[in-house]
Amino acid sequence: MKRILLPTDFSDYSFQAIGYALSLFKNINCRFFLIHTYMPPVYNAEYLVGSPGLIGLGDVMQETSMTQLEKLKNRLQKEHNNSKHSFTVQTSFNTLLNEVMETVESEGIDLVVMGTKGATGAKEILFGTNTVHIIKKANCPVLVIPPNFEYENPLEILFPTDFEIGYNKELLAPLLDIAEEHGSQINVLHVSTGYKLTKDQEKQKKGLEKILEKTALFHDVPSNDIINAINAFQAKEKINLLVMIQNKHTFFERLFIEPVIKKIGFHVNIPFMVIPQLK
C-alpha cells in the first residue's frame, strides 16, 4: 500500500493537488495522510511564557484545524468514493517543513503531493520557499501541482538528464510505477553541452536505456540552457508530467540558485516530480 502525504492549507490550490493525487492513484491501494500545520500569528516570547491574553489560543487553532481536516476528509470520501483509499488526518503546532520531514520519517511516506500558488495571472508553478525547502530536504519524492491544473493521465512524461549519475530500478521506481500504471511514454531529454559524452556518461546512458527498455524515447537537443530546453520541449510536445532526479552536482541545483532563473522564469505548467537520490 502506498503511503502518500498531502499537506493542505485548505486553499483551492491544495484541494486541486489532493484531487490530482487521488486521480493519479485511483487504481492503487493508498493511505493518504492529510496534514495541516498552524502557528499563532503572535507567536513570540510572550506566547512561550503564557501571556494572559494568549492563553488558549493554540487550543482554539488546533480545534479549528482538526475540524477543517475532518470536513476535508469527508468531502474527499464523498466526491471520490474509492474503496482503495483511506485517510488519516493530522494537525500540528509546527512549521510545514518540519512537519513534513517528521511525518515522512515516522510514517514511512512514499510520496509528498502538494499544490503551490502560481505567479499572478499565470497557470504555472512559482517555486515558493516552502516548496523549495521540502523538495531539497525530503527523503522521498515530491510531486508539485501547478494551480488550476485539470487532471490528465500522464501519458507523456519528460525526464531531463545529463547522464552524470548512475541509475537503478530502485532510484527510478517512483517514475517506473507511474509509467507502468498509466502506460506512459518516458521522454528522456539530454541537452548537449557542445562536447561528446564522457565514458562515464555513455555508461550511465546505456544503463538508463536498459532500465527503461521500450518505455522511453531518447532526445538529444543542441547546446542550450537546460531551462530553455525544457520549456521548448514542453511547448512542442504534449507533456503531462515532468520528472527529475535531485542531484546537487548537476543542473537540478542550478534551477533554484542561479539568479538568471528569476529573469527568464522556469515555466512549469504541468505537474513536476522530484526524486531524491538514494542514501
Number of compact structural domains in the chain: 2
150 assigned to some structural domain: no
Q: Are residues 200 and 141 in the same domain?
A: no
CA distance 75 to 34: 12
**Count of alpha carbons within 13 Å of 115, Cβ hemisphere only?**
22
Domain termination residue (choose one: 145, 165, 184)? 145
Compute the distance between CA of residue 68 and CA of residue 48 in angstroms, rounded to an integer.
26
Q: What are the tens digits of pLDDT across the range 27-74?
A: 999 999 999 998 765 555 444 455 554 555 567 888 999 999 999 999
What is the overall mean pLDDT for the chain?
84
Domain assignment present for residue 128? The answer is yes
Does one domain contain both 120 and 166? Answer: no
Name the residue range of residue 260's domain. 156-276
| Same domain as 233, residue 102 | no
What gap in Å lies between CA 155 and CA 179, rounded to an integer?
8
Name the 3-class secondary structure at 76.
Answer: helix
Q: Are 27 and 85 in contact (CB under 8 A)?
A: no
Residue 151 falls inside a structural domain: no
In degrees and rounded to multiples of 5, residue 137 shows phi and psi of -110, -20
- Alpha carbon distance 102, 107 (integer Å): 8
Range name among 47-61, 210-224, 234-248 with the lowest pLDDT average: 47-61
37: cell is 500545520
Residues 136, 181 within the same domain: no
Percent of the chain with pLDDT strictly greater than 70: 80
User: 39-72: b or e for each residue (b if 16 or more CB lie within 10 Å)?
Assistant: eeeeeeeebeeeeeebeeeeeebeeebeebbeeb
CATH number for the domain including 254?
3.40.50.620
In the predicted structure, residue 265 carries a pLDDT above the cut 60: no
Tell me whether residue 15 is exposed, middle or buried, using C-beta atoms within 10 angstroms of its C-beta: 0 to 12, 13 to 18, 19 or more: middle
- 141 & 160 share domain: no
Same domain? For 185 and 97 the reply is no
165/237 same-domain check: yes
H/E stretch holding 111: strand 111-115
pLDDT score, position 278: 77
Instruction: Please report the pLDDT score of residue 70 as a whole number.
Output: 97
Q: Are residues 99 and 10 in the same domain?
A: yes
pLDDT category of residue 151 using cuts at 50, 70 and 90 = very high
State which of 116, 145, 174 marks the end of a domain. 145
- Distance between CA 250 and CA 259 in Å, rounded? 16
Residue 256 has pLDDT above 60, yes or no: no
User: Same domain for 27 and 127?
Assistant: yes
Identify whether residues 228 and 171 lie together within a single domain: yes
In a domain, 6, yes or no: yes
Q: In this structure, how many other beta carbons lie within 10 angstroms of the beta carbon of residue 139? A: 11
What confidence category does residue 277 fall into, taking pLDDT thresholds of 50, 70 and 90?
Answer: confident
- Is the residue at 169 inside a domain? yes
Residue 235: CB atoms within 10 Å = 9
Q: Would 167 be classed as within a structural domain?
A: yes
Q: Output the pLDDT for position 148.
A: 85
Decide if 141 is inside a domain: yes
Are 51 and 162 part of one and the same domain?
A: no
Tell me: do 8 and 123 sit in the same domain.
yes
Question: Given 111, 145, 179, which residue is the final one in a domain?
Answer: 145
Over 50: is that where the pLDDT of 156 sits? yes
